[in-house]
A and B are shown apart, each in its own frame.
Chain A
């Protein structure tokens, strides 16, 4: 089956059926070939990026909204303000918290 799973955290959990802090707050959607993160977030989830903090696809932090979502992806969306901090800052290869204008090839 071609699906993607959106894992939601913080205030975004409200979009899922199970929205408690100890629930897995997940929405399952059909995978659309060549769909970008921007399309998924803005059109299908009806969210603006201002409402979102850190984003991961298959456990990798994402900085570009035009990234194409792979089939069977695990997409994690954290609510505004929830970012990689402290030691986590190193994962993006720089110290900025909110800036997403440039990708670093961390690996």
Chain B
């Protein structure tokens, strides 16, 4: 197989292999998933019906020697937002698919049976494996069983929530050690789309596969060196775990828990305050200290870790493993967004409880951000006391029981939970819950939450391409208004997602100009193009996605934040979200 699209039809239980068409030749990751979904899925189709398709695509550079580039994009029409969706994750599957020469795996059709299957993909065969005994199984147990039979395989799939077609079902992925299913393409309910095809797991085995080689090796290598150097040099992405250098290697993304708290923008108690007294207890610093303590106590037997890589070839290594008091793994990773959603937003400040809540999400197969927002809604409804971690754990366990109504409502995510339980206060855009930055003190992120094609999503905008800086006149993003800045962020981010790089390269490449060159040169070198215009490519992806959403029935009115953000002042800054509707509309009108 080389440069191919694999099409799996679950109606006929067959597969075909197609050479990548010319129009997709220079696409990968999000660019490819969104193009295929836009071309092949009717925007008005039922997301859980026969017309929807789910697409798995490694990034353009996945499987190559470009650093931190092993991301897997998953795309479909989202059952949560009703619009187009791409979610991406680390894990093993992107590099496995890339080494097998598979550019995209498309699952389509409607099963005409009641059985569950795994899909096994290797160099020599693609087969359906009956898996009824694995249905409704917790994912920690499932990945263990699958590795016994298929050691070293990449695993992605739908957990209990996805199999029950619940809207907050994510696509799980195993980590490189197969100790946790926590590498989630979590957002937008893509796990339910896979569940609707009656597939539990996709098992990829790259034995006999080959590393994808660049067409222009010299340009690729030049870019690669620039990227490696920028990532090593930058104070955030560089350094070494266990030393004074390197924020992400030491504290992970959860370094932000204390920082956003000091910024007065940490959404607390379902977005009532921007400051949480208990933030420090569940912060990246607290995880770091706990890992060190357990290492001291149990030595190599401790399973706690920071500076962990979520996929082979990541040199940033922001992931971690949170141990319990016996040094045993609770969950990997505990990221900022998850610790915030399951902790701060519910005023739970016990680290072990928060890690356990995250573990349950990973086990039943749901996205942690929406789960945390749904927990807060359950607290609003009086179903769980605010701040009670143990009660929250018991509540979440209802998800295992297929007959428990609260459990099912909760696993549909915050928007459905609020509607079902009669709660008005819910932070969602396009049906998807907010991440961990309050848009009142951080208005720029509010603009992105409102306008991104994905529903409220913080990952939609991290950095700006140099040509956008140039065209802004001042070559300085500090000259841009919030609408222009948000569009520029979103466009460059779409490009990074398509390349297969982790978004966290963004921190280094705007500060270090040669890093940005490295981004462009690795992609252009791999594809054998002289130049690969970041803005043009990013804008094209965004336009494809906007167009799909428009046809699905989205209007300007869907690009708005819930009313309470413009009416209720957030302490300690005491500000509202005062960006006008005209400013929000300007984000895409000008593109």
Enumerate chain A interface residues (CB-CB to B < 8 A): 7, 9-11, 20-24, 53-54, 56, 58-61, 76, 78-91, 93-99, 102, 104, 106-107
Contact = CB atoms under 8 A, between A and B. Distances in A.
A15 to B, nearest CB: 14
Contacts of A82: 247, 251, 255, 258-259
A51 B441 CA distance: 27
B372 to A, nearest CB: 15
Interface centre among A11, A53, A56, A90 (most CB of B within 10 A): A90
A91 B258 contact: no
Contacts of B281: 22
B262 A21 contact: no
A56 B274 CA distance: 14
Given A87-B435, A90-B445, A7 B262 contact: yes
Contacts of B260: 84, 87-88
A80 B506 CA distance: 18
A85 B237 CA distance: 11
Contacts of B262: 7, 9, 54, 56, 59, 76, 78
Given A87-B458, A88-B265, A81 B245 contact: yes
6 contacts: A59-B263, A59-B572, A83-B507, A87-B437, A90-B443, A91-B263
A6 to B, nearest CB: 12
Interface of B is mostly: helix
Interface of B: 234-236, 239, 244-247, 251, 253, 255-256, 258-260, 262-265, 274-275, 280-281, 283, 285-286, 288-289, 336, 435-437, 441-445, 448, 458-459, 461-464, 476-478, 480, 482, 485-486, 489, 506-507, 510-511, 572-573, 575
Interface centre among A24, A54, A79, A95 (most CB of B within 10 A): A95
Nearest to A92: B478
A77 B252 CA distance: 19
A86 B247 contact: no
Contacts of B510: 95-97
A64 B463 CA distance: 23
Given A21-B280, A21-B286, A96-B511, A90 B259 contact: no
A27 to B, nearest CB: 15
Given A93-B478, A97-B511, A85 B285 contact: no
A21 B288 contact: yes
Report the 4 A-B pairs with minimum CB-CB distance, sorted nearest first. Answer: A90-B444, A87-B437, A59-B264, A81-B247
A105 B236 CA distance: 25
Given A10-B251, A21-B280, A91-B445, 7 more contacts: A9-B259, A21-B283, A85-B236, A85-B259, A87-B448, A93-B485, A95-B464
Contacts of A76: 262
Contact of A88 (B256, B448, B459, B575): B256
A89 B447 CA distance: 13
Contacts of A22: 280-281, 286, 289
A23 to B, nearest CB: 8
A83 B236 contact: yes
A83 B69 CA distance: 23
A55 to B, nearest CB: 9
